[in-house]
Chains A and B, each alone.
Chain A
């Protein structure tokens, strides 16, 4: 069975702090895709990144970085020098094929205070 766990329900940081959001997944498939989405208060999901199971390279995009480790089935997300605009709920998700249905984690609500 496929499952995504985001153990951190809520995180609160002060602006400019670094913060890491954890994501652990379970799947028996050898081919799968992992995603991170941001959901601001408006509710619309914002796509952040997709990784396939064969690409373990870490990625950096501006203040965002992702650490994918198959050995620990984790796909963690770090925001460096957080800003108030980063406040949102962040979801990690898993799919077994591109364009297929997504299995979401419970979400982590990040609050960045000025």
Chain B
């Protein structure tokens, strides 16, 4: 199957700083990427959908000024958590889809963010 990577796999940052998480499709062109967030012992909740070259579509309740999503190429999307606070500590998972892979959705391994 197709491979999606995320970097970093885990990150610790201080409150008030910004952190960027990368999501890459390694062997296919991802026209659409999704960002999910998962708090401990909870389900995955979709944060936003991004199509290459377009602005991301955010789910209700997700602050677009706080969670900046960029999908500038067909293989890379980034999520920047700006002015992070402890309540942003979570597991962030991206997924990617594209016609190359018959529009199947492939998940990255996730990034664990801890804000101290």
B91 surroundings in chain A (CB, below 8 A): 43
Range class of the A interface residue count: 10 to 19
A105–B44 Cα distance when bound, in Å, is 8
Where chain B touches its partner, the secondary structure class is: strand
A-B contact count (CB 8 A): 46
A100 surroundings in chain B (CB, below 8 A): 97, 105
Q: Which of A45, A98, A103, A105 contacts B93 (CB 8 A)?
A: A45
Q: Which residues of A contact B (CB under 8 A)?
A: 42-45, 47, 91, 95, 97-107
- Chain A to chain B contacts (Cβ below 8 Å), 24 pairs: A43-B110, A44-B107, A47-B1, A47-B107, A91-B43, A97-B103, A98-B103, A98-B104, A99-B32, A99-B103, A100-B97, A100-B105, A101-B34, A101-B46, A101-B49, A102-B34, A102-B44, A102-B46, A102-B95, A102-B105, A103-B46, A104-B43, A104-B44, A107-B43
